[in-house]
Amino acid sequence: KQEVTQIPAALSVPEGENLVLNCSFTDSAIYNLQWFRQDPGKGLTSLLLIQSSQREQTSGRLNASLDKSSGRSTLYIAASQPGDSATYLCAVLNEKLTFGTGTRLTIIP
């Protein structure tokens, strides 16, 4: 059974700092990994999708890496802004998408 863990559960950093969110999964036989963002009371917004054959994906200030063999992914956010405050979720796909519990990020102005 796939299990996905995200560390830390919550993180507060001053505006402008770079930060890293971590995701680990137990079954490395995945097809892809997605990072999502969820704002309070809102749905899930897909940020980045990394295929199993890829090592990283970049979108603007976001960079996600994937080390499938070790069951790890990181989401790097550069030059953080208050608008980045949200809950960040990673999800891995084998037979179905399995989500982590998320990291609640707060950027302090």
Partner 1 sequence: EAGVTQFPSHSVIEKGQTVTLRCDPISGHDNLYWYRRVMGKEIKFLLHFVKESKQDESGMPNNRFLAERTGGTYSTLKVQPAELEDSGVYFCASSPLTGLDTEAFFGQGTRLTVV
Tell me the C-alpha to C-alpha distance, in Å, between residue 59 and each of 46, 48, 50, 64, 109: 11, 7, 12, 9, 23
Cβ 10 to partner 1, closest distance in Å? 13
Cβ 59 to partner 1, closest distance in Å? 13
Tell me the C-alpha to C-alpha distance, in Å, between residue 79 and each of 12, 41, 43, 57: 14, 25, 25, 17
Cβ 23 to partner 1, closest distance in Å? 12
d(CA 66, CA 64): 7
CB closer to partner 1 out of 62 and 93: 93
Q: Which stretches of the chain bind partner 1, using CB under 8 A?
A: 4, 31-32, 34, 36, 41-46, 49, 51-52, 89, 91, 93, 95-102
CB closer to partner 1 out of 4 and 80: 4
d(CA 86, CA 17): 16
CB closer to partner 1 out of 13 and 44: 44
